[in-house]
Amino acid sequence: MPFETINLTPIYIALGVGALLVVLALWKKALTIPATISAFVILVLSALFTSYTGLTVFSVSFVGIAIVGQVKKEKRKDREKDLYEHQGARGLVQVLCNAMPALIYGAVYFATGIHSFLIASAVTVCAGVADSAASDLGILSDGKVISLLTFKKVERGMSGGVSLIGTISALTTSVVVSAIVFAVGEVGIKGLWVIALMGFVGTLIDSLLGAGIQRAYRCSKCQKLTEKRLHCGAPTTLVKGLRFVDNNIINVVSLIIAGAISLVF
């Protein structure tokens, strides 16, 4: 069992790398202060639960998301401001919803030593970062965006919509993240494939759930679809999905499902 033979080295590295990432996050304004503190704790816990695999996959994802966030920052900001309640720095809830599934599967691995849970933990991180890259780059796309549920054209940036750029970003991210996890040496060649495949499938599950049950509103003044409750200074009306289901809930549920499917392999 991993908990009987705790390796302290990855934990010490996590403390060091975490401190550097805290500086990066605050400097680049990638995370709010509470989100930065929780990301630090998550990194250390993942190093405890899943050793070098967790440490590496979280560090790489974090840097990757920060770099992607710098691409055409102004254009993204401009396109997001009409659509989402929160833009710019990621908040505490967003960080927790993306990292909790990995910590849960990681904790099971820590307690039981069952290797599939280590893979499932890496799958959820991979799917989370792939989804983030797909959203952040997809919104910059000027190409067609379709709903994965109806295959009809939808407005860019709305949850459940998939674009070509977003899909390619998700696929590339999944392959890169799984290759890095493989290079760490704690998962085998089968793990490499499962993480790459399920990382990408996780983003599809996210899009399907997003199209199916995530709430969306319409502005009564400009008629645009939005995730905001207030638009053009007036309250918007719910036109799709369940009122209590926001993007964070979709993220956490789709990551748990992707991890659970990977356990079957």
How far apart are CB 217 and Zn ion at their closest, in Å?
A: 10
Q: What is the nearest approach in angstroms of Zn ion to the Cβ of residue 221?
A: 5
Q: Which residues would be at the binding site for Zn ion (CB under 5 A)?
A: 219, 221-222, 231-232
Number of residue whose CB is nearest Zn ion: 219
Give least dist CB 163 to Zn ion, A.
23
How many beta carbons lie within 10 A of that of residue 185, not counting itself?
9
Which residues sit opposite 234 in a β-bridge? 231
Q: From the CB of 216, what's the least distance to Zn ion, in Å? A: 13
Residue 140 in tokens: 């910059």
Beta carbon nearer to Zn ion, 28 or 228:
228
CB closer to Zn ion, 180 vs 219: 219
Report the residue number, 86 or 218, with the smaller CB distance to Zn ion. Answer: 218
**Of 72 and 79, which has the nearer Cβ to Zn ion?**
79
Which residue type, as a one-letter code, is found at position 52? Y
For residue 90, the 8-state DSSP code is: B
Q: Report the nearest approach of Zn ion to the CB of residue 227 (Å).
A: 12
User: What is d(CA 183, CA 122) in angstroms, rounded to the nearest whole number?
Assistant: 13
Which two structure tokens, joined as six digits, stand for 70? 């710098």
The residue whose two tokens read 């920060």 is 66
- b/e code 97-120 from CB counts within 10 Å (16+ = b): bbbbbbbbbbbbbbeeeeebbbbb
Q: What is the rounded CA–CA span in Å between residue 217 and residue 82?
A: 12
Q: Which is nearer to Zn ion, 19 or 222 (CB)?
A: 222
How distant is the alpha carbon of residue 117 from its chain centre? Answer: 18
